[in-house]
């Protein structure tokens, strides 16, 4: 059974629609900026942070309760805006399921000023998912995916498999969200992994990540009548692996990511030469980018145009796999390859074809990769019908 993309959205510092975000990427606009002082870092830091006033302004347009956290508002807004693109999807139907992807959820509720404002259960991801689901009056129990930085890609794969194997559902709404907080930033700073400038994925002078916050939604369906056949995109295949190397460091050989890529291609009935574009993970840390380059070479994909969006959005954790997949989808629709912002000179031991200039290209089959703490890896393939 085919699984189609029915609608999508991105809420980020670069815009509140997929198209607005895509257009800003085309013009090399980054959402990462310098914060001399901030509530989320004791030292100066570069990060991609959404304007709280814009979130409040957009949320008021929904004419709903204001008893939601920042993260919940972002997720709810993203779903609303995605569904505006496709009015055939009934979110209140028993045939529609919501999958929530996040690594930290409402982690800001640990802050003293918010600690007593909400029920402490809202710190649990399952409770956050229930709150989002309840807003839309969806009758199903939502599913939660939290597997480090591959969460978004895993959530999409789960949605695909449920639609293929379970006749109970026709539509699955995959939403991912994470926010910038002192807890998150200080954790990465403790690893000495945060860059003192805007991240430089795959670059010889890369020194670490830039963090970001975002929400993203991809609506999947197995109902062909719910999609536009003139621009339909399929989720063809996906796979995950774990190299069990280290709690925070990836396998130096890239074998785990290679396995995920190979299995994703196998499930998609595609070969390496069929892939026209790779949306890489590209955190701009020394070991991640090197590992990814090794895996790409071993998969014989080193000549395929590849980018990272982490220097535009920052690393958005549980939202990353979803918002980067949305940009992949928009790239396919527009047949446009987005340049990797802040990339100048390749800094990996094996060659990879990093896109340095936005350009047109015929994109039929595209691969999205992801990697995360604990040695987890994932890959997913999108194809035009």
Nearest Cα neighbor of 260 from 236, 288, 235, 241 is 241
The secondary structure of residue 36, as a DSSP letter, is: S
Both tokens of 303, joined, read: 């000549």
The percent of residues above 70 in pLDDT, for the chain, comes to: 99
What local confidence, expressed as pLDDT, does residue 14 receive? 98
Radius of gyration of the chain (CA): 19
- State the residue for tokens 């992949």: 328
CA distance 353 to 293: 10
Taking a C-beta distance cutoff of 8 angstroms, is the pair 157, 378 a contact? yes
What local confidence, expressed as pLDDT, does residue 115 receive? 83
Both tokens of 273, joined, read: 């030469």
Q: How big is the CA angle at 226 (ends 225 and 227), to the nearest 5 degrees?
A: 95
Taking a C-beta distance cutoff of 8 angstroms, is the pair 356, 306 a contact? no
Cβ partners under 8 Å of residue 308, min gap 6: 201, 202, 279, 280, 281, 282, 283, 284, 340, 343, 354
Nearest Cα neighbor of 183 from 124, 112, 116 is 112
Taking a C-beta distance cutoff of 8 angstroms, is the pair 103, 318 a contact? yes
Q: Check pLDDT > 90 for residue 247.
A: no
What local confidence, expressed as pLDDT, does residue 145 receive? 98
CA distance 289 to 291: 5
Q: Check pLDDT > 90 for residue 189.
A: yes
The secondary structure of residue 239, as a DSSP letter, is: E
What local confidence, expressed as pLDDT, does residue 167 receive? 82
Q: Check pLDDT > 60 for residue 230.
A: no
Q: Check pLDDT > 70 for residue 121.
A: yes
Q: Which CATH architecture has domain 4-226?
A: 3-Layer(aba) Sandwich (3.40)
Taking a C-beta distance cutoff of 8 angstroms, is the pair 156, 174 a contact? yes
Please tell me the CATH code under which domain 233-384 is placed.
3.40.47.10
In this structure, the dihedral spanned by the alpha carbons of residues 79, 85, 90 and 94, taken in order and rounded to 10 degrees, is: -50
Q: Check pLDDT > 70 for residue 231.
A: no
Q: Which of 33-37, 236-240, 251-255, 353-357 bottoms out in mean pLDDT, i.e. has the lowest?
A: 251-255
CA distance 169 to 143: 13
Taking a C-beta distance cutoff of 8 angstroms, is the pair 202, 354 a contact? yes
**Portions of the chain given CATH number 3.40.47.10:** 4-226, 233-384
Rounded to two decimals, what is the model's pTM?
0.97
CA distance 160 to 62: 29
CA distance 102 to 137: 21
What local confidence, expressed as pLDDT, does residue 252 receive? 87
């Amino acid at each position: 059974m085919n699984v189609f993309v029915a609608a999508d959205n991105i809420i980020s510092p670069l815009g509140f629609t997929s198209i607005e975000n895509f257009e800003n990427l085309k013009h090399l606009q980054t959402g990462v900026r310098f914060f001399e002082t901030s509530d989320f870092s004791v030292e100066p830091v570069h990060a991609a942070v959404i304007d709280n006033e814009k979130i409040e302004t957009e949320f008021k347009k929904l004419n709903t309760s204001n008893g939601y956290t920042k993260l919940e508002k972002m997720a709810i807004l993203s779903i609303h805006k995605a569904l505006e693109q496709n009015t055939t999807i009934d979110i209140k139907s028993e045939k529609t399921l919501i999958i929530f992807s996040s690594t930290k959820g409402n982690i800001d509720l640990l802050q003293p000023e918010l600690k007593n404002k909400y029920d402490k259960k809202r710190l649990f991801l399952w409770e956050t998912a229930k709150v989002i689901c309840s807003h839309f009056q969806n009758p199903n129990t939502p599913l939660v995916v939290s597997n480090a930085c591959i969460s978004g890609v895993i959530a999409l794969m789960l949605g695909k498999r449920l639609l293929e194997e379970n006749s109970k559902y026709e539509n699955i709404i995959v939403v991912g969200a994470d926010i910038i907080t002192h807890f998150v930033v200080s954790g990465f700073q403790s690893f000495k992994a945060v860059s003192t400038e805007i991240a430089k994925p795959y670059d010889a002078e890369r020194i670490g990540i830039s963090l970001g916050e975002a929400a993203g939604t991809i609506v999947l369906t197995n109902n062909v009548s719910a999609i536009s056949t003139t621009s339909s995109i399929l989720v063809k295949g996906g796979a995950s692996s774990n190299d069990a190397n280290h709690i925070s460091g990836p396998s130096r050989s890239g074998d785990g990511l290679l396995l995920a890529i190979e299995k994703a291609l196998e499930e998609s009935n595609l070969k390496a030469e069929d892939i026209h574009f790779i949306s890489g993970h590209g955190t701009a840390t020394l070991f991640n980018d090197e590992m990814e380059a090794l895996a790409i070479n071993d998969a014989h994909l080193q000549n395929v145009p590849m980018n990272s969006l982490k220097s535009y959005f920052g690393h958005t954790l549980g939202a990353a796999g979803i918002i980067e997949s949305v940009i992949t989808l928009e790239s396919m629709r527009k047949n446009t390859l987005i340049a990797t912002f802040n990339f100048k000179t390749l800094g990996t031991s094996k060659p990879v074809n990093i896109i340095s200039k936005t350009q047109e290209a015929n994109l039929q089959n595209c691969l999205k990769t992801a990697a995360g703490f604990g040695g987890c890896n994932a890959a997913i393939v999108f194809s035009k019908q």
